[in-house]
Amino acid sequence: MEILQLKYFVALAHKEHLTNTAKEMMVTPSAIRISISRLETELGCKLFDHIGRNIFLNEYGKAYLPYAEEVLSNLENGLAHIKELLGQKDTILTLAVSRPQVWQGPIQAFHVVHPEIIINQISYDPVSPTHDMIPQDIDLLITSPDSFSDSKWDSAHLFNDKILLAVPPQHRFFERTSIDLREAKDEHFVDSTLDSFSARCYEMCREAGFEMQTPIKCDYTLRPKIMESENMLCFVTYHGTFTGYYSNAHFLKITNPSDLRVQNIYWRKELRQSKAAQLARDFFIEYYKEFEVKL
């Protein structure tokens, strides 16, 4: 039995799609197929069922998966431990967040305190249509528990945030301080590509009795400019108002339906955390102790 066979098996078990698994592992589909076939021969049973072109993990595969994952996890932990014993201090942190612009402040603050740590910040949102599996090299993930739940990950609460309505200067709502969202049923909204925050905003509008009209969808950094030039509205979290992108906007408290946006920080249970990841996790938790927003 080879380690590569286990890696291919675990990857295919999560995706249940041969072509996509091959792309992720940067090999040909036939290499995956041959490796799995050899593993099945050694085990004496099939691990996947094939229905047409579809692949499904069968009862034997489901039974074997946690053992294969544990072997790979132990190997990674062992490698990390050996590096520590050899004095090879791990100074690389891979941090995944849904909207990088919103987390610019705390990441910069962490870098000031720990300049020796190399930060690899990537964009990842659990509900995005382009994301179907969390990359294996992520040390920490910051997202809302509304969109992410996995028993293999531990978590800690960062803060409660509230969703506000951003209004451009020329809009009829600009002088307001609060709004019942039902009053905005005929308005146009500028939205970003579907992610967990965007999905929640659509839900809020449905709770208010209407479908959010979004004639323009664009990058998060472009939303304030489009909002102002087209006299549209957009949703933003209180945390997001500190990014500097919304300097000309006015923010209204939404009284109905009011909503609280929770943010947690996650790390894998089974993996040995690097010193960089431990420092970053503790730093972010401490950083947001004074931020907590309550309705």
Q: CATH assignment of 3-85?
A: 1.10.10.10
Per-residue confidence (pLDDT) for residue 259, from 0 to 100: 80
Helix (H, G, I), strand (E, B) or coil at 264: strand
Mean pLDDT of 39-53: 90
- Calculate the average pLDDT of the chain: 88
Rg over CA atoms, the chain: 23
**Measured between alpha carbons, how far is residue 205 from residues 171, 208, 212, 274 in Å?**
19, 5, 6, 42
Helix (H, G, I), strand (E, B) or coil at 35: helix
pTM: predicted TM-score of the whole model, two decimal places? 0.68
Per-residue confidence (pLDDT) for residue 275, from 0 to 100: 87
Any residues with CB less than 8 A from the CB of 224 and at least 6 apart, and which? 166, 234, 245, 246, 247, 248, 249
What's the gap between Cα 249 and its chain centre? 27
- Confidence band, pLDDT 50/70/90 cuts, at residue 232: very high
Contact 58, 67 (CB under 8 A): no
Mean pLDDT of 240-250: 89
Per-residue confidence (pLDDT) for residue 133, from 0 to 100: 66
Rounded CA-CA distance 184/209 in Å is: 10
Structure tokens at 165: 């309505």
Q: What are the boundaries of each domain within the chain?
A: 3-85, 90-295
Q: CATH assignment of 90-295?
A: 3.40.190.290
pLDDT, tens digit, for every residue of 30-39?
999 999 999 9
Per-residue confidence (pLDDT) for residue 13, from 0 to 100: 92
- Confidence band, pLDDT 50/70/90 cuts, at residue 295: low
Per-residue confidence (pLDDT) for residue 249, from 0 to 100: 94
Q: Is 87 left (phi over 0), alpha (psi -120 to 50) or beta?
A: left
pLDDT, tens digit, for every residue of 95-150?
998 877 788 889 999 999 999 899 998 888 776 655 556 777 789 999 888 888 88
Q: At what angle do helices 275-287 and 104-113 cross, to 10 degrees?
A: 120
Q: At what angle do helices 18-25 and 3-15 cross, to 10 degrees?
A: 130
Contact 190, 223 (CB under 8 A): yes
Residue 89: other Cβ atoms inside 10 A: 12
Per-residue confidence (pLDDT) for residue 37, from 0 to 100: 93
Contact 225, 145 (CB under 8 A): no
Contact 200, 224 (CB under 8 A): no
Q: pLDDT above 90 covers what percent of the chain?
A: 52
Residue 1, pLDDT above cutoff 90: no
Per-residue confidence (pLDDT) for residue 129, from 0 to 100: 57
